[in-house]
Amino acid sequence: MCGIIGYAGKNNSIGITIEGLKKLEYRGYDSAGVAFIRGDNGLMDIVRAKGKISELINRPTLNGVMSSVAIGHTRWATHGSPSEINAHPHRVDDIAIVHNGIIENYIELKRELLKEGAVFKSETDTEVMCHLIASFYRKGRSFEDSVLEAIKLLHGSYAVNVICEKDPGKIICAKKDSPLVIGLGDGEYFCASDVPAFLSHTRDVIFMEDREMAVITREGVIIRDSEGAIVHRDPTKITWSPSMAEKGGYRHFMLKEIFEQPRAIADTITGRANLSTGTVNLYEFGLDKEIISSTRKIFIVACGTSWHAALCGKYMIEELAGIPVEIDIASEFRYRSPIIGKDDLFIAITQSGETADTLAALKEAKRHGAKTMTICNVVGSTASRESDYVFYTHSGPEIGVASTKAFLTQLVSLYLLSIALGSKGSSKTLAIDAINELLHIPTLLESVLIAEAEIEKLARQLSKSSGFLFLGRGILFPIALEGALKLKEISYIHAEGYPAGEMKHGPIALIDEGLPVVILLSKETLYEKVISNIQEVKSRGGKTVVISNEDDDGVRELSDHFILVPRANKFLDAIVMTLPLQLLAYHIAVIRGCDVDQPRNLAKSVTVE
C-alpha cells in the first residue's frame, strides 16, 4: 500500500525523506511527493510527480533547499487516477498532509465542506481530510486540536503525517487500521508506514496503536491516546540490520530473497525444536499443554500467498495433530457468520501483520471469544499486538512484493506448530524424525538453488507462453496454487493452479499444444495417480513440465521438461518444490522485461480493504 514518512531533526529533511521513500518503493506506488518547511524563509513548499521517485528528484524546486521538517508519500491510487494532481502531499491553506488508508465517508464530508465554500483540486479522499483540518485551524483551534477534531469525524482507515506552515517545527501523526511506526534517533525523529524507511538512522521504534496521535519535533515525541492522555511506551529494538534490506549484489530483491531462504528457514527453526527430546518449544508459540488439550477446532485465516500456507497447514495439523482445521480467506471470513468460540484456536497468517482483511478477521474471532494466534514476520505489528499468542517467522525483511521467504518460513512455522499440537498423540520417535527432517531442509534448498541456471534455461523456452496450468495432489495442491500466483504476479501471464485429481472436471479442456502444464510429482503423495495425469496431458499435446523428487525413467520419457529435486517427507516436500516454481516465475518475468520487485497494480501489504 502507499508509503509515508515524516522527519523532524537536525539534518536536511528533504534528502532524508526522499531516501525513506526509496526504501518504501517495494510497497508499490504510482506517484510520489514531499512537503517541507523551507529553512530560509519558513514557508511551506510541495513537490509532486507522477511515476517513479526519480521523476520527483529531478524537479528543480528541490535543488539546494534546506529544511528540518518534511513529510513524503508514495501513492498507490484508490480514489482518483494516478496523476500529479492526485499525488500526495495535499495542501489546503497552511496545512499539508500525507495519508495511507481509505476514508469511507469522504463523500458525505466533502458535501458539507463544499457548502462551506471549500474548493477541491483532486479526486482523492485525502484532500477531504486536509480541508477538515484547515477548517478547524481557521476557526482558531490549535494545530494539534485541529487534527484531533478532524480525525474524530473520519470513518475508515488512516495513517497520516501533517505539517503546518504557521507551526513549522512539528509533524502530527495519527493512525487507525493502517500501520504507523515512530523512529527515535539522536536529535532526529521519524514517523513512517514501515521500518525500512528510516532503518539506516535508527533501530529504536515505537509502534503506534489505533486512535493514537503523536507530535514529533526535533526535541522528541509525545504520544496521546484518543482521550488526550499521554502514552508512555518503551521502544522496540529492531534486530535486523539495514544491510539485510539491501540487494547485496543481486539483480532484484526477489532473487536475493529466494537465495536467502535456507538461512531464513534455519533462523526460524533455531531454538524452537529439540532433536534429542523430539519436542517443540511451546513457549515460542505462547501455548501450553492446557491450551492445546482444550482446543476443539482450529481456524486459519489469511490472504494471498499466506492463504496458500494456511492450506498446507491444514494437511500438516490434521494429520500430525489430529485436530480439525478450517481455512478461510480473510476477506470472506470477516463478512460471514463463523461458528467459532472459546474452545477454538484462530490463527492469522500475515507477513506484515498489517493486512486489513486479516486484522478484521482477527477482531471478529476475538469478538466470538476464540483464542487467537498470529504467525507473522514483523515484530510489534498490529496483528502480533492484537493476538493472545504470536509466533515470529524470523525471515528478515522481505522487500520484493511477491512473497518468497516469508511463505517458506510460514510453512516451517506451521510444521513446528503441528508437531507441538500433536505431541500428546504421537510417539517420541516420530517427533524426533519429523524434527530431524526439518533440520535438513536448508541443505536441500541449497541443492535446488544450484540448479538455477537449468531453470533459467527452461524459462527462456516457456517465456512466450500465454498461459500455464499447475497441478498437484495433497499438500502439493496449495503449492500448485502458489506457483500459479507467483507467475501471475510478476510476469502477467495467466496461470491456474488445480488439484490434479480434478483435471477431468474442467481444466483438461484447456490443454493444447501451446499450454505448458507444470506438474508436482512426489513419491510420497499419490505418485501413480499423478503419473496418470501426466499421461493425460501428454496425450493431448500439452507441454509437460514435471518437478519430481523421484528420478523415474518412465516419467522422464513423458516429460518435455524434467526437474529433479531432493526428497523430503510428504509435508516438507511442499517447501522443496516451491523453490523451483519461484525461480521459474522470476526468470520468466525477467526475460519478459517485467518489473519483478514492483509488479504493476500490486502492493506489498494491503492495508486497506
As annotated, the active-site residues are 2, 604
Consecutive H or E run containing 434: helix 428-439
Strand order in the sheet with 494-499: 494-499, 467-472, 516-521, 543-548, 561-564
The total number of residues shown for the chain amounts to 609
What are the cell numbers at 137? Answer: 485551524
DSSP label at 122?
Answer: S
Q: Tell me phi and psi for residue 67, to 5 degrees.
A: -160, 145
| Cis bond upstream, residue 338 (ω within 30) | no
Helices 261-269 and 405-421 pack at an angle, to 10 degrees, of: 30
* Alpha-carbon distance values, 464 to 487, 582, 586 (Å): 13, 18, 14
Rg (CA), the chain: 25
Phi and psi torsions of 591, nearest 5°: -60, -35
- Measured CA to CA in angstroms, residue 469 lies from 76, 483, 497, 509 at distances of 30, 9, 6, 11
Residues 6+ apart with CB under 8 A from 253: 26, 247, 399, 400, 597
The grid coordinates of residue 413 equal 512455522
Grid coordinates belonging to 203: 533501530
Sign of CA dihedral 550, 554, 558, 561: positive
3-state class of 551 per DSSP? coil
For residues 519 and 530, is the Cβ–Cβ distance under 8 A? Answer: yes
Residue with cell 528420478: 551
From CA 475, how far away is CA 525, in angstroms rounded?
A: 8
DSSP state of 195: G
Q: Please, what's the b/e burial string for 131-149 (b: 16 or more CB within 10 A of its CB; e: otherwise)?
A: bbbbbbbeeebebbebbbb
- The C-alpha atoms of residue 247 and residue 560 are separated, in whole angstroms, by 35
C-alpha cell of residue 559: 516429460
Q: Can you spell out the DSSP letters for 123-173?
A: S-SHHHHHHHHHHHHHTT--HHHHHHHHHHT--B-EEEEEEETTSTT-EEE
Q: Are 486 and 582 in contact (CB under 8 A)?
A: yes
